[in-house]
Structure 1
Amino acid sequence: MATPFHSLESYIALPRVEAAALSPDGRTVVLTVAVLKKDQTAYERALWSVPADGSGLPRRLTRSAKGESGAAFTPAGDILFVSARADADADDLESAQLWLLPSAGGEARPVTRLAGGVAAIAATAAASDRVVLGASLLPSADSIEADAALRAERKKKKVAAILHERYPVRYWDHDLGPAEPHLLAVDVDALADTVAAVAADTAAEEEAEAAPAAAAATDAPAPYPTTLPRPRDLTPRPGRAGDTDGAALTPDGRTLLVALQRPLQRGGRTALVAIDTESGAHTALVDEAGVDIAAPTVSHDGRSVAYVRARKASPAAPEQAEVWVSGIDGSDARRIVADWDRWATALTWDADDTGLIAVADDDGRAPIFRLPLDGPAERLTDDDFAYSHVHVDRTNGDVVALRSSWVQPSHPVRIARGPGGEAAGVTVLATPAPAPEVPGTLTEIEATASDGARVRSWLLLPEGASAETPAPLLLWIHGGPLSSWNAWSWRWSPALAAARGYAVLLPDPALSTGYGLDFIARGWNAWGAAPYTDLLTITDVAVARDDIDETRTAAMGGSFGGYMANWVAGHTDRFRAIVTHASLWALDQFAGTTDLSVYWQEIFTPEAMVENSPHRFVEDIATPLLVIHGDKDYRVPIGEGLRLWSELAEHHADDEGRMPHRFLYFPDENHWILGPQHAVVWYETVFAFLGEHVLGSEPTRAKLLG
């Protein structure tokens, strides 16, 4: 039966739910939904409303050419979001701003007009209209107006140069600087949207325009609009400190609890800092050498703060991510659920403040847990899904979240709670992105490693796979490496391979999360050891099945998965083809050119970095490789792909330069291939390469490759 996964054009056109927010009264969920633009070259995002009780139909709330994201609620139920949509009073402003959509109805209206735009909503308050935004300002600007003037001058003179004074200089897919990240407090209730206020603001603008000579003589920048609440800078002269690892406001909005960066030579650590949102005064609450603080969340009564605390890792061993709770002033800090060997994400307080709700990778899933302040962790969900965007309904303790699996994309659900706080059923909510039919069936397999460790994997079997017609096998290695194959990914879709007849093996080898710290430690400082042998061991179990054709196998992976694909290529010839995307090739080179080199040099000894570098085994590669890399990839820089390609040619090309390997290069993509048509080219090239070497098909070339 044909599904959207049998056609790449149909696949990229599927709508995607990306985020969810719950209204203060618990009655409404706002979803951020991405849909393919008419020209099929990008995605546009809009906000949709769905009832939180499982009834009714989705209702679209926003519509603009630039799209909307980052939805959050005010205490009154108004919806805040970030958008670069047109502002009728600032036609020349192209950057994203904070907008407010009134709950009582009416048009959305802008709340900010910052020249550099708004990056994100950092925190909102439960009982106050105070909002904290992430935004960037130029380092020499001493006001919002000065920042706007400096930006305009740089744009006019076509200056893009950046003078760096500290490391790092770029991050993932973008250059850092010249602007620095700030946290700005905005009182949304000070938004003056009356006829009189607009008239006064217009009069001030006309007065400034009437005296251009005087303005030029004083070089005075245009004033910030009086109709908009003036943002207050909570982090003046921040350097990179504004690169936070989570922030939360107390219910009254008077105190911001934030994990702020503390610079350290080439790297840094995060400390828990309390910022008075009126005075801007900073008070360090948890500021420990060698420790990172992340994901602070404030209790509903405003008396406590919870956060994740982790010591810096070293080559000796990985470190546990601990959940801590303290008074709002940092007093009486203590670790909770100390025996829980999992890493908490999506941390939020339960309705009665007697515990926390969290998500954690666990055995190939990512269930919701309750973490009591006193007592062991309690698992709330018991299904094959991974949960995210978790919100607690304070009216009854129910949980609203997104969930997904490898056979169902992200969708909103409500988890009812019983009298003891236990889960009492899951209700699927309405969505404008209904689940598509996914080809194949998902099952689990597991193996026992040589050291006795249990290694498990998902196996997606295509329709018709049987002993009579066994399917070719595609080993797909996850990235990270601290990750798990447990949630739907639009970028990596094994369903597309299943639609083309492949069985897809999705293993969690050593270094994977969700199996405890000891399982991660098996591959620590030794990426080429247990992670590699785990992959081969679970592959042996897969090909021993009578519905798998062990003579037709391939391997692929991206990022760390690309590293492992390179390592596999240099250590075995059991696979007919290998695809290596955004891959680490020469660790000594990579460690100094990646966007955060200090981390890689902290987790590897110099000896292990050499021993575990795939480039040393280039001469042993006997399997055709498809190398894929984006030039804007700053996490795994293009130099890795270029050196891999050069050394493959050096050792494997014939006298005329021919070789079985291929290099798919994207000049304007980064670590991920995000353009819809580029994604089509990516999959067309991958499946053509696999088809040639695994299925014996004739070589083909994607039409748009020319």
Structure 2
Amino acid sequence: MKRCISLIGIILLVWANATVAHGARRPFALKDIHRLKWPTDGHLSPDGRWVAFSMSLTDVEHNRRNSDIYIVSTQGGEVRRMTTHEASDIHPRWTPDGRRIAFLSTRSGSAQIWTIRPDGGEAEQLSDLPVSISDFEWTPDGQHVVFVADVYPDCPTLECTRQRDEQKEKKQVKAMIHRDLLYRHWDRYEDGKVQHLFTLTADGKAWKDVTPRLKLDALQWWLAAAGRDWDISPDSRMLAFATNLNGHLELNYDVDIYLVPLAGGEIENLTEANPAADSLPRFSPDGRQIAYRASKRVGYESDEYELIVMDLQTRRRRSLTDAFPHSVGEIFWAPDGRGLYFSAGEAGRMKLFYVPLDGGPVREVLGGPYWHHAIDVSSHGLVFSRRDIAHADEIFMADLSGRHERQLTSVNADFYDEVITVDAEEFYYTGARGRRIHGFLIKPVNFDPNKKYPLLVRIHGGPQQMFGFSFRYEYQLFAAAGYVVLFVNPAGSPGYGQAFTDAVNHNWGGDPYIDIMRGVDEVIKRGFVDERRMAAWGGSYGGYMVNWIEGHTDRFACLVSHAGVANMWSMYGSTDELFFPEWEMGGPPWERPEEYDRWSPIRYAKNFRTPMLISHGERDYRVPITEGEQMFTALRRQGIEARFLRFPDEGHWILKPKNRDLWYGTILEWVNAHCRPAPTTETEGRSLHRSPEASGRGADAL
């Protein structure tokens, strides 16, 4: 009880001091994760006067996120709310004549297309289908909508799919017989349905399956792409889409670009010659060429993607970015057809670039210490969402050269007037094998360089992911609670060249671990971190790294592992996509047993010493919950303090608002309990380094 009162007193004291230092504003609090508004998916009207976008808010009472459609003038000014229904309204798309805005809504009980006039009025339902729609776009001529829906491939009608779903729901026996892999993916079991692409007439009366003969999904899984993985030709006659129709999806990452007439007909594979992945097809404005992104190495999900342009008459293709050092993300044709825009991550920033169609140097269009996404390119300019470490998304606009930027929305201005949000400083240091490692440091609110502070090390997932100038709740939450927050991009992170990304292959607990530990050492040198009060928190691969840290150093006072791999053998036997571990480990475990043993954190359980909080979702089929259970068992069997936070209704991510409250709150409470003793300059007590590898000294041999 005394300890609890002491912790509360420390937090209140930090809060009071920060409030005085920053005027009337107060530090970020747990309740604030639900207060921020997130505008995104902005699209310009055909006349260039308006931007329609969706904005999501948290409905804590009903434990969900809710989105509505809004518009704002391209000159800025008042944001107008177009929909107010309690159902979620997303994906606004202007009709080609600009007279209405179409959007997806669940207000009728399933996801259907609705439309509304930009000057207001009641929304009208366009589609009334027996199945839910997951995505749609207008054909350029405005005569049809192309949409995506899940259907049973042997069902001749959409009504057949609906009836079969109802019959399955009524069955008292829910058992399933699996005959092959991939039988579950991310957070759901495969149910026999596949994605097909359809057309719907503009009056909503007639639909047609454009891909009726497909027995596999017409689109690759949602997280495999960097944007919409299909496109409509400018003459509204052809449809291009990217998917894997080669079977054995658990092993095969051979995604190809396919072409099919919108009226129906034979499907043609445009990229069969490339055994690696091709995705994000985009027709040129004149319809004569198609751009897409392509990788080169078979089975490698995180290979570098180049921007390819194919002549649709000759089928000749060429790369526009063979000399560009980063992987291509989203793709957009310039309105005049003389070049292409594309997004790419670079050194913690998500940027937009331009490359001329006839070759020439790549030019940066949108840069700076920001994260740009949800980009729309039209003859009237660029519309995009932008965030940074201290600010959530807002909608911006610029001309096609990236100049004359203007912020169109300020939906969180009142929040920033009330709440302190902190920024980060970036720095570089030397990691494993002499590599230059990029780090970010957030100092606590009301920072005093003469004091000692606890440190939170936040470790990213992937492993081929990149931390950077992007708002995250935990940065603000822990800085407000008096912590120094460190996050780095160790070996394996994209944005620093493909060789840097490849450095994690067959090396999960090696160089990345050294890079992180040396980042900690670098911050300690600055003199304001208390080495006895340090914690590390990671999720997914970051959770793996925390599990690895558990067996390789006791320099941390406590650890937090979310959805982390513990045992490479059991992970292989229960995860969904097998091409991923087979690439990372060099093959299946029976062919590479030494690799799977070497990089399994559970194999080092005899070295476990540090208290650990483990969190996991029971519906996580990417890193199944048995991985967290193994860590918990090994810790408690040895009498080491541990807690297991289990979410029966979550998958790989913790998404439901009340679950997120519990998750963030529990993590903060756990770290506070181990890292908030009275500050001291003493260094006795904990062993800061059990081995040279903990600080990177002599560790390059790993």
- CA distance, structure 1, for counterparts of residue 165 and residue 434 of structure 2: 60
Amino acid at match of 1:243: L
Equivalenced residues, count: 636
Separation (CA, whole Å) in 2 of partners of 1:663 and 1:151: 36
- Output one character per residue of 1:217-256: Cα deviation in whole Å (capped at 9) or x when no partner: xxxxxxxxxxx32221112242333233500101222111
Is residue 633 from structure 1 mapped to residue 620 from structure 2 by the alignment? yes
Hey, what's the Cα distance between the residues in 2 that align with 1:249 and 1:314? 28
Q: Distance in 2 between matches of 1:160 and 1:181?
A: 23
Aligned position for 2:589 = none
The structural deviation recorded for 1:485 is: 0.9
Say if 1:11 and 1:147 are closer, same or farther in 2 by CA, change over 3 A.
closer
Asked if 1:177 is matched to 2:191, the reply is yes
Q: CA deviation at 1:681?
A: 0.9
- Distance (Å, rounded) in 2 between the aligned partners of 1:350 and 1:637: 43
Cα distance in 2 between the residues matched to 1:96 and 1:319 = 35
What's 2:326 paired with?
Answer: 342
Instruction: State the alpha-carbon separation in 1 of the partners of residues 61 and 600 from structure 2.
Output: 43
Q: Give matches, 1:547-566, under 5 Å.
A: 547-566=528-547
Q: Is the 8 A contact 2:241 2:258 kept in 1?
A: yes
Q: 1:100 aligns with which of 86, 94, 115?
A: 115
Deviation readout 1:16-36 (Å, 9 max, x if unpaired): 224322222222222211112
CA drift of 1:158 comes to: 5.3
2:405 matches 1:429 = no
**One-letter identity of the residue aligned with 2:77:** G
Q: Which residue of 45, 67, 90 corresponds with 2:67?
A: 45
**Matched position secondary structure for 2:399:** strand
Aligned to 1:233: 209
1:212-231 alignment runs, 5 A limit? 228-231=204-207
CA distance in 1, matches of 2:496, 2:218: 33
1:365 aligns with 2:365: no
Q: Distance in 1 between matches of 2:602 and 2:426?
A: 33
Measure the CA separation in 2 of the matches of 1:321 and 1:680.
38
1:703 is matched with: none
Please tell me whether residue 511 in structure 1 is matched to residue 492 in structure 2: yes
Which residue is equivalent to 2:51? 29
- Contact 1:630/1:667, CA 8 A, preserved across alignment: yes
Q: Does structure 1 conserve the Cα–Cα contact (< 8 Å) formed by 2:211 and 2:218?
A: yes
Shift of 1:6: 3.1
Q: Residues of 1 paired with 2:431 and 2:245: CA distance?
A: 41
Map 1:246-395; keep pairs closer than 5 Å. 246-265=229-248, 266-268=250-252, 269-288=254-273, 290-313=275-298, 319-329=303-313, 331-373=315-357, 374-395=359-380
Question: Match for residue 157 of structure 2?
Answer: 143
Residue 527 (str. 1) matches residue 508 (str. 2): yes
Q: Give 1:70's aligned amino acid.
A: H
Question: Compared with structure 1, are the counterparts of its residues 5 and 313 closer, same or farther at alpha carbon in structure 2 (3 Å cutoff)?
Answer: farther
Q: Check the 8 A contact 1:626/1:662 in 2, yes or no.
A: yes
Q: Alpha-carbon deviations, 1:286-318, whole Å to 9, x = none? A: 123531111111222222211010134568x96
The whole-number CA distance in structure 1 between the counterparts of 2:354 and 2:433 is: 33
Contact 2:60 2:658 in 1 (8 A): no
Contact 2:560 2:612 in 1 (8 A): yes
Mapped contact 2:389–2:422 kept (Cα < 8 A): no
Which among 555, 576, 580 is matched to residue 599 of structure 1?
580
Q: CA deviation at 1:163?
A: 5.2
1:157 deviation in Å?
4.2
**Counterpart-to-counterpart distance in 2, 1:367 and 1:287:** 31
Deviation of the 1:59 alpha carbon: 0.3
SS of the counterpart of 1:148?
helix
Greater CA deviation, 344-353 or 166-175? 166-175
Structure 2 gaps of 5+ residues are: 1-17, 20-24, 587-591, 679-702
Separation in structure 2 between the aligned mates of residue 158 and residue 128 of structure 1, nearest angstrom: 46
Q: Deviations over 1:477-526 (max 9, x none)?
A: 01111111125355x53111101011111100000011001111222221
Percentage identity across paired residues of the two chains: 28
Q: Secondary structure at the match of 1:493?
A: helix
Local SS of the residue matching 1:294: strand
Q: 1:574 and 1:587 mapped to 2: Cα distance? A: 25
The residue matched to 1:580 in structure 2 has which SS?
strand
Match of 1:128 in 2: 142
TM-score (norm 2): 0.86
Cα deviation for residue 644 of structure 1 reads 1.5
Report the equivalent of 1:119: 134
1:59 maps to which of 65, 80, 84: 80
Match of 2:437 in 1: 455
Q: Which residue number in structure 2 is paired with residue 68 of structure 1?
A: 89
Match of 1:477 among 454, 459, 475: 459
Return the offset for 1:113: 2.3
SS in 2 for 1:345: coil
Letter matched to residue 527 of structure 1: W
The 1:141–1:676 alpha-carbon spacing in structure 2 relative to 1, beyond 3 Å, is: same
| Deviates most, 504-513 or 349-358 | 349-358
Q: Aligned equivalents of 1:76 and 1:4: distance in 2?
A: 47
Counterpart position of 1:79:
101
SS of corresponding position for 1:366: strand
Q: Which residue of 2 aligns with 1:415?
A: 398
Q: CA RMSD in A?
A: 2.2
C-alpha deviation, 1:330, in angstroms: 6.6
Distance 1:278 1:345 in 2: 30
Specify the alignment match of 1:704 in structure 2. none
2:104, 2:111 within 8 Å by CA — same for their partners in 1?
Answer: yes
- Inter-CA distance 527–4: structure 2 relative to 1 (3 Å threshold): farther
Aligned equivalents of 2:471 and 2:422: distance in 1?
17
Conserved in 1, the CA contact under 8 Å of 2:259 and 2:270? Answer: yes
- Specify the SS of the correspondent of 1:286: coil
Correspondence list, 1:184-203, <5 A:
184-188=198-202, 191=203
TM superposition shift of 1:180: 1.8
Match of 2:558 among 544, 561, 577: 577
Q: Distance in 1 between matches of 2:295 and 2:312?
A: 20
CA contact (8 A) 1:79 1:102 kept: yes
**Contact 1:51–1:430 under 8 Å retained in 2:** no
CA contact (8 A) 1:4 1:10 kept: no
**Which contiguous aligned blocks of 4+ residues in structure 1 show a shift greater than 6 angstroms?**
none
Match of 1:614 in 2: 601
**Are the aligned partners of 1:314 and 1:603 in contact in 2 as well (CA < 8 Å)?**
no
Change over 3 Å in CA distance of 1:103–1:450 after alignment to 2: closer
Cα distance between partner residues in 1 of 2:120 and 2:320: 44
For residues 159 and 183 of structure 1, what CA distance do their matches in structure 2 show? 32
Contact 1:135–1:181 (Cα < 8 Å) also in 2: yes
Contact 2:44–2:376 at 8 Å: present in 1 too? yes
The Cα shift of 1:359 comes to 1.3
Counterpart CA distance in 2 for 1:4 and 1:345 is: 38
In 2: Cα distance, 1:4 partner to 1:598 partner: 48
Contact preservation (8 Å) 1:285, 1:329? no
